[in-house]
Amino acid sequence: MAISTGAALAISAVTTAVGSFASYKQAQNAADMRKDAARREANMAEEVAMDNFARQQEELTERQEQVDEASEEKKSDLARKADAEFAALQAQMASGGGVLGTTNALRIANEQRYLQGVDVGRIERQRQREIDALQKDKEAVSQETANAINRGNLQVATTSAEAEMAESNARTSAMMDTLNSGVQIATSYAKHQERLEAAKG
């Protein structure tokens, strides 16, 4: 049984439309897979960045605490030394002033207190410099983490835009293929009808 020209043209149109739609669906699925993969990758990168951030912040905070402890220990050592020196000076003064005399002993005691204050101030300034440097490191870690997360989000947006563009191009191509097929079928059918009319007449 022979297939009529009209039926053959209809089959051709359906075949083209189905093929075009299948191509579009493949492109759509590929686009969805690319977007999902980009999102997963960005989520993993964000998780790693946040884990690194937490670890580095903890390490820096621990170092700040160590700086504080070391500073307090130095101040305590300095205070103990000053107390011992002052006690020795008082003992010497109590035993009659010895060679020093009361005025000299008081002057020496005041100088010791002054020098202890200078040393404590120096220790505190050094402690503050170290704490400030570690705080800047914390801020840098925070900024690096934010930058890593932003880069991941930008990559997701870029990949999504590219995938949507590819999907849109596939959709347009499928519609154009179907339209072109329809035009070709209509043209072929019209020519076939003209030949039939010419053969009759």
Average pLDDT of every residue of the chain: 84
Confidence of residue 199 (pLDDT cuts 50, 70, 90): confident
Helix (H, G, I), strand (E, B) or coil at 201: coil
Q: What is the pLDDT of residues 10-50, one digit of tens each?
A: 677 677 777 777 777 888 888 888 888 888 988 998 899 99
Is residue 193 predicted with pLDDT exceeding 90? no
Confidence of residue 66 (pLDDT cuts 50, 70, 90): very high
Confidence of residue 93 (pLDDT cuts 50, 70, 90): confident
Confidence of residue 89 (pLDDT cuts 50, 70, 90): confident
Answer yes or no: are the C-beta atoms of 145 and 49 closer than 8 Å: yes
Q: What is the pLDDT of residues 120-153, one digit of tens each?
A: 899 999 999 999 999 999 999 999 999 999 998 8
In 10 A of CB 64, how many CB atoms? 19
Buried b (16+ CB within 10 A) or exposed e, 2-22: eeeeeeebeeebeebbeebee
Confidence of residue 168 (pLDDT cuts 50, 70, 90): confident
Compute the Cα dihedral for 164, 170, 173, 174 and give only its sign: negative
Please give the model's pTM, rounded to 2 decimal places.
0.63
Q: State the pLDDT at residue 2.
A: 55
* Nearest by Cα to 113 from 79, 137, 136, 88: 79
Q: Structural domain boundaries of the chain? A: 5-184
Is residue 100 predicted with pLDDT exceeding 70? no
Q: What is the mean pLDDT of residues 75-98?
A: 79
Q: State the pLDDT at residue 134.
A: 94
